[in-house]
Amino acid sequence: MTAGVPRVVLIGPPGSGKTTVGRLLAQRLGVAFRDTDADVEETAGKAVAEIFVVDGEPHFRQLEREAVTTALASHPGVLALGGGAVMDEHTQRALEGYVAGGGAVVFLDVSLAHAAPRVGFNQSRPLLVGNPRARWVELMQLRRPTYERLATVHVVSDERPPQEVAAQVHAGVVGAPAGGGEDPSAQEVQA
Ligand SMILES: Nc1ncnc2c1ncn2[C@@H]1O[C@H](COP(=O)(O)OP(=O)(O)OP(=O)(O)O)[C@@H](O)[C@H]1O
Ligand SMILES: O=C(O)C1=C[C@@H](O)[C@@H](O)[C@H](O)C1
Ligand SMILES: [Mg+2]
């Protein structure tokens, strides 16, 4: 990441903690936090789950692509993306450009065993309705290569409270000491 206001994007599956850790990271860095799911909800005037039901997933993905494009171009702080946003090719190119411009892209990773109790797999996550554990695994199999390819930093959030994960991410993006007594082996900083 280049000097100036830190620019960090968090990607990863539902339950990895993008929103929770993103807020904490923004506080640590003293910058603003933004979340594309919230941006989409504001634009649409309804909750993500309602957009899926009333307008359909393609419409949600269109709104999401626009929200991501706008935020990547204009938001100077920490940005959490929706879990599936990275599967859009336009968003993939935009993230590559973001990294080329000095931004950091963090893959917040989590196992099913830890994601399940966090997410609770209720109706608020429309893609997981039906057989939520199986759907989560399917989505992760499909998406993991993309998360890994786009990320400049990879942090596993299993077994760690959000504050510790935020410290790990902080260390990964600005090279600061992680603090909090966490195990550095949990963090893999990719070249
Ligand atoms: N490291 C963690 N340890 C324990 N609980 C966590 C951790 N990170 C997040 N949580 C909890 O898990 C739940 C889901 O977290 P969060 O909403 O931040 O995930 P997300 O990645 O933004 O999911 P989504 O893709 O659906 O937006 C929240 O209740 C949050 O408090
Ligand atoms: O994993 C996904 O595809 C999603 C994750 C959430 O953040 C929301 O963007 C929506 O529920 C879809
Ligand atoms: Mg979120």
**CATH assignment, 8-189:** 3.40.50.300
Measured distance CA(132)–CA(137) in Å, rounded: 9
Place of tokens 């859009």: 88
Rounded distance from Cα 2 to ligand 3 centre (Å): 26
At 160 the pLDDT is 93
User: Does ligand 2 come within 6 angstroms of the Cβ of 82?
Assistant: yes
124 CA closest ligand 2 atom index: 11
Please provide residue 61's backbone torsions phi and psi, each rounded to the nearest 5 degrees. -65, -35
**83 neighbors 60 (Cβ within 8 angstroms):** no
pLDDT tens digit at each of 191 positions of the chain: 655 667 999 999 999 999 999 999 999 999 999 999 999 999 999 999 999 999 999 999 999 999 999 999 999 999 999 999 999 999 999 999 999 999 999 999 999 999 988 877 665 677 777 788 888 899 999 999 999 999 999 999 999 999 999 999 999 998 755 544 344 434 454 43
**Which of 9, 11, 16, 20 is the best mutation target for the ligand 1 pocket, counting ligand atoms within 8 Å of the beta carbon and taking the most?**
20
Tell me the β-bridge partners of 11. 107
**Which of 36, 40, 48 is the best mutation target for the ligand 2 pocket, counting ligand atoms within 8 Å of the beta carbon and taking the most?**
48
> The tokens of 52 are what?
């899926």
User: Does ligand 2 come within 6 angstroms of the Cβ of 48?
Assistant: yes
Which strands sit side by side in the sheet containing 8-11, from one edge to the other? 33-35, 78-80, 8-11, 104-109, 153-156, 187-189
Q: Could you read off the pLDDT of 82-111 as tens digits, one per residue?
A: 999 999 999 999 999 999 999 999 999 999
**Strand pairing report for 187-189 and 153-156:** antiparallel
pTM, two decimals, is 0.91
